[in-house]
Amino acid sequence: MYFLRHPWKFLSTSLPKSLYKRFVLIIVLPIFLIQIFSLSFFINRNWIQNSNKYIENVVQQIAYVKNLYYNDKCRFNALNGKFLKIRFKEVFIINNEKNFQNKKLNPLNLHMLKKALRKNSLQDFKIYKNIRDVVIILKTEKSAIEFRINAGDILFASNHVFIFFNIFVSFIFLGIAWLFMKNQVIPIINLSNAMNDFSNCHSVFNIKPRGALEIKNAIKSFNKMSEELVHYISEQNIALAGVSHDIKTYITRMKLQVALLKDEKIASDMNSDIVEMENIISEFIDYVKSETYSKDQFEDVNIEVILRDICKKFPIQYSLNIEGNAVVKGNENALKRCFLNIISNSAKFAQICKISIISKNEIVQVIIEDNGPGVDNNEIDFLTKPFYKVDKSRNMKHGGVGLGLAITNNIVLKHNGNIAFQKSSLLGGLKVTVTLPQ
């Protein structure tokens, strides 16, 4: 069997995945095992042995009374129906079973009582139980002897109380431990959620330190780290914005100087270089912006409307198939840029583009396929790397800067989605699958 061949793997896959459930298991399992061992020890050493001892004592008294009945009838009558812990009398009509069996006798006690009676050569008997007594009818040759024993003397009802009290107290302490562990785990959950949110929107999260000392230190470190990272990103964006503004100023001057040139060929070549520089700066700024917007800007966005508007801008034959609701929560401008980058790449190298939108289980999948040359399998992993270009040409008409799909990937990740690339089996070109939560 698998768990015998690979016990550690079996345990790792069978154990709870969440920290809170593992903490509960660490507390509950030892207490459960201790209760099992302690109760089994108590039942075996205390309950069963003591019950056997008292039952044996009572049965010996019954055997003594029976012996007097047969051998010393005068002394039997002189006892006047009482001997130590038993009450007895001779009966000539055996009472109906319904008069006694108001309650069922515990199977374990019944077994021990029958065993003790047979051990003392008492064979022909019947055992009943009413509210207070255990009644044993022992048949004789011409009549019967009815023995009554106080049920508390042989059944030990208090043992049941002890067991239930033990279990009840254990559950109370488990409940207290559960509440305590819950309060210990909540700060860790808050820290985990803050980390996920920080990775998506790069905002400062000042979490209140609480919990154990180690958890407080971790929260303080995270607060400090998030402040420093946000400050670093803010300074970086300000610097890039300043540099891009200065470069655009110089580009504007260059445009004015080119406009004054008399040689049209040189002016045309320089204008092409200037346009290329402007596109590089614009894409670089867009790449930086794709990492800075917040989830607070999310709203309902209809993917179908965005894709139809984008496809109309390109001279490409496209088809759009929709299954389900195409509305997601996101930043509309960012999603427009995301799908614009993908479809513009298709328009550069393909003539046909097939788009499918599938909404299922609160997930929206956008599948974009084209009949272009596609991408080699060994290059697929590098498509979302900044400045990586499948087309190595310097012609901006086709090659681009290499930031388009990197921007797309950032936008998809910020929306808690993912993007995948593969060869299209339908059209033979590239197939791009964007998955977004609704």
DSSP string, 412-435: HHHTT-EEEEEE-TTTSSEEEEEE
Q: Is 2:10 a contact under the CB 8 Å cutoff?
A: yes
- Provide the pLDDT confidence category of residue 12 given band limits of 50, 70 and 90: low
- Percentage of the chain beyond pLDDT 70 is 82
pLDDT-based confidence at 135, cuts 50/70/90?
Answer: confident
For residue 268, give the 3-state DSSP assignment. Answer: helix
pLDDT digits (tens, 9 = 90+) for 299-320: 888 998 999 888 888 888 888 8
SS (H, E, C) 330-343: ECHHHHHHHHHHHH
Averaged pLDDT, 234-240: 76
Q: Identify whether residues 389 and 255 lie together within a single domain.
A: no
How much is the pLDDT for 102? 45
DSSP, collapsed to helix, strand or coil, labels residue 122 as coil
Spatial contact of 411 and 436, defined as CB atoms under 8 Å apart:
no
Cβ neighbourhood burial of 174 (10 Å; 0-12, 13-18, 19+) = middle
Cα–Cα distance for residue pair 97/22, rounded to 1 Å: 55
For 140-243, list the strands marked E by DSSP. Answer: 144-150
Whole-number Å distance between alpha carbons of 206 and 202: 13
Length of the chain: 438
Above 80 in pLDDT, residue 161?
no
Enclosing H/E stretch for 91: strand 86-91
Residue 68 has pLDDT above 70, yes or no: yes
Rounded CA-CA distance 366/356 in Å is 6
- Copy the structure tokens of residue 86: 């038993």
User: What is the Cα–Cα distance from 156 to 235, expressed in whole angstroms?
Assistant: 80
pLDDT at residue number 356: 92
Task: State how far the Cα of 309 lies from the Cα of 311, in Å rounded to an integer.
Answer: 6
pLDDT at position 435 is 92
Mean pLDDT for the stretch of residues 315-343:
87
Residues 255 and 160 in one domain: no
Angle between helix 157-201 and 19-42 (nearest 10)? 170
Task: Quote the CA–CA distance of 403 and 411 in Å, as a whole number.
Answer: 12
Neighbours of 89 (CB within 10 A): 12
pTM of the model: 0.53
Helix (H, G, I), strand (E, B) or coil at 80: coil
Last residue of a domain, one of 238, 261, 289: 289
Output the six-digit token pair for 356.
Answer: 């499918």
pLDDT above 50: residue 210: yes
Structure confidence at residue 381 (pLDDT) = 83
Stronger pLDDT, 401 or 248, i.e. the higher one: 248
Evaluate whether 408 touches 391 at the Cβ level (below 8 Å). Answer: no
Residue type, 224: K
Among residues 289, 320, 351, which one ends one of the domains? 289
Q: What is the pLDDT of residues 18-67, one digit of tens each?
A: 777 777 777 777 877 887 777 777 666 667 777 788 888 888 888 888 88
139, two tokens: 């048949």
Average predicted confidence (pLDDT) for the chain: 79
- Between 194-208, 334-348, 377-391, the lowest mean confidence (pLDDT) is in 194-208
311 with 419, same domain: the answer is: yes
Range of the domain at 254: 202-289
Shared domain check, 318 and 215 = no
pLDDT of residue 94: 58
277 and 130 inside one domain = no
**What pLDDT is recorded for position 288?**
67
Same domain, 217 and 276: yes
Q: How does pLDDT run across 174-184, given as a tens digit for each residue?
A: 888 788 887 88
Q: Are residues 274 and 404 in the same domain?
A: no
Round to whole Å and give the CA distance between 157 and 152. Answer: 7
194, 267: one domain? no
Number of domains composing the chain: 3
* pLDDT value, residue 159: 59
Closest to 304 in 3D by CA, of 324, 275, 331? 324
Torsion angle of alpha carbons 73, 77, 79, 85, nearest 10°?
Answer: 80
How far is 193 from 188, CA to CA, in rounded Å? Answer: 9
Per-residue pLDDT at 395: 41
Give the pLDDT of residue 394: 37
Whether the pLDDT of residue 349 is over 90: the answer is no
Res 432: pLDDT = 92
Amino acid of residue 237: N
Percent of the chain with pLDDT over 90: 5
Please state, in angstroms and rounded to a whole number, the distance separating the CA atoms of residues 131 and 202: 74
Are 275 and 133 contained in the same domain? Answer: no
Alpha-carbon Rg for the chain, nearest whole angstrom, is 44
Number of Cβ atoms within 10 Å of the Cβ of 44: 10
Residues 278 and 384 in one domain: no
Q: Is 327 helix (H, G, I), strand (E, B) or coil?
A: strand
Q: Which of 12-16, 124-128, 380-384 has the lowest mean pLDDT?
A: 12-16
The pLDDT assigned to 294 comes to 62
The CA distance from 352 to 47, in Å, is: 85
| Same domain? 256 vs 302 | no
Statement to judge: residues 283 and 183 lie in one domain:
no
Q: Which of 155, 176, 200 is the last residue of a domain?
A: 200
What confidence tens digit (pLDDT) does each residue in 258-300 have? 887 777 788 887 887 787 777 777 777 776 666 666 666 688 8
